[in-house]
Amino acid sequence: MTSDGSRSRTRRDVLKASGVLATTGLLAGCSGGSGEGTTGADATESATGTEAATESATESTAETEEGTEESAGESYSVTMPPVGTVEFDSVPQTWVANNGSWADMGVALGVEPPKGVWLTSRYHTQYYDEIPNVSVDKSGMVDLYSDGVSKEVFYQLDGDVHVIDPNFLLNRYKGWEQADVDEISQKVAPFFGNSIFSRGYEWHKDYPYLTLYEAFEKLSQVFQRQDRYEAFSSLHEQFQSNVASVVPSAKSDRPAVAVLWATGDEPESFLPYVISEGTSFKQWRDLKVRDALAETDVKDFHKSRGKIDYETLLEIDPDVLLLRGHESKTAQEFQNTVVQFMKDHQTASALTAVQNGDVYRGGPLYQGPISNLVVTERGAKDLYGAEGKLFDRQRVSDIVNGNF
């Protein structure tokens, strides 16, 4: 920024957002600074992200959202709700991502990692340890969220595109208004995002959600790497077939699971999550588990902001407990801390899942194409005893590195 408040322009001059100036009418539910603050249960949610994203989009959306591919060096545009059509005069070189879902998509496309994400602690780069010649160094990556979101961080990061749903800024956090979105769009770079990770927000009901691979395709158009998307899509189809082969055909043979957020190594209460269409639940849907919470009086955390204790959990007594909030741990570390505590706990030890050794890590809040492969295979082994590898690690590496 210069002393008069103007901004020196460099690469940003060649990035234009034709749809951004018109987004006031496109951004659903925008109410200026009326977004809720993050205290209590909301603070937990802001730190973890709300998981319940959708895997569905209408046919009309699919018909009207096709991005226009252009050869390198020519302008092109990509369309996605709620931001509309965003025009690029050149391929973005640097970017900022809302969360690990989008960051993982970028890695899959072989582009440089984002300069910032909502919370770097929720971007679990250890999944890349499974893939040869793929790694991400988060040491220089910036947290966008820190007791709120400052506009200054966007100026400091100076990204070429912000892969963030502006409605999330406008409706979830105090201090952001449409004028702020317009300012960052015009003076830094356009917003291009959809809050695919959460179906829990009223303001998102006015525009479609995208599935993981629909969103992935949109981002591939932004970075003009549609060939990598197509390769991943083909890999994913084969993976889905491999997963289906280990899932019991009879519903009664599949476990009734409870997905819970468990804070700390000695949890006494839990945030309950009913499995929905969200991308963070994709592996459990694909593994066709039964949701032990879905037909009880327990309200989903998105709606109730409530917690449940061991007594309530014992009444439900799921076959399997899937505990979120511990993805940074290895399986053994998880067993040595959280699971051991539950085994020693007077009430928790009476749970069927604890007695049978069926307490597992519940997967990440944010999934991209690579992390989804890793955690789905892990879930297949945990729940169904699947053996061997369900996807080709070298093939993933080859796609990421452009050797296909």
- Residue entry with tokens 């179906």: 199
- Residue entry with tokens 């769009």: 185
Residue 108 is which amino acid? Answer: A
Structure tokens at 14: 């060649």
* Domain ranges (residues) in the chain: 11-238, 248-400
**201 conformational bin, left if phi > 0, alpha if psi -120 to 50, beta if neither:** beta
Structure tokens at 150: 């400052």
Asked whether the whole model's pTM tops 0.75, one would answer: yes
Closest by CA position to 183, among listed 149, 148, 151: 151
Question: What is the Cα–Cα distance from 67 to 105, expressed in whole angstroms?
Answer: 17
- Residue entry with tokens 């295979």: 377
E-assigned strand segments in 25-160? 76-80, 84-88, 95-97, 116-117, 142-143
* Four-way CATH pick for 11-238: 3.40.50.12780, 3.40.630.30, 2.60.120.10, 3.40.50.1980: 3.40.50.1980
Cβ neighbors of 272 (< 8 A, separation 6 or more) are 258, 259, 260, 293, 298, 299, 300, 301, 306, 307, 308
Structure tokens at 352: 């069927």
Question: What is the Cα–Cα distance from 147 to 315, expressed in whole angstroms?
Answer: 37
β-strand 269-273 against 308-309: which pairing, if any? Answer: antiparallel
Q: In 188-254, which ranges are continuous DSSP H helix?
A: 212-222, 226-244
Q: What is the pLDDT along the chain (404 residues), one digit of tens a residue?
A: 333 333 333 444 434 333 333 333 334 333 333 333 333 333 344 444 333 333 333 333 333 344 434 445 689 999 999 999 999 999 999 999 999 999 999 999 999 999 999 999 999 999 999 999 999 999 999 999 998 899 999 999 999 999 999 999 998 878 899 999 999 999 999 999 999 887 777 888 899 989 999 999 999 999 999 999 999 999 999 999 999 999 999 999 999 999 999 999 999 999 999 998 778 899 999 999 999 999 899 987 866 778 999 999 999 999 999 999 999 999 999 999 999 999 999 999 999 999 999 999 999 989 999 999 999 999 999 999 999 999 999 999 999 999 98
β-strand 84-88 against 76-80: which pairing, if any? Answer: antiparallel
What would the DSSP string read from start to end of 173-189?
A: STT--HHHHHHHHHHT-
216 contacts 163 by C-beta, under 8 angstroms: no
Residue 82, preceding peptide bond in cis (omega within 30° of 0):
yes
Question: What is the Cα–Cα distance from 75 to 299, expressed in whole angstroms?
Answer: 48
98 contacts 215 by C-beta, under 8 angstroms: no
Query: If one looks up domain 248-400 in CATH, what number appears?
Result: 3.40.50.1980
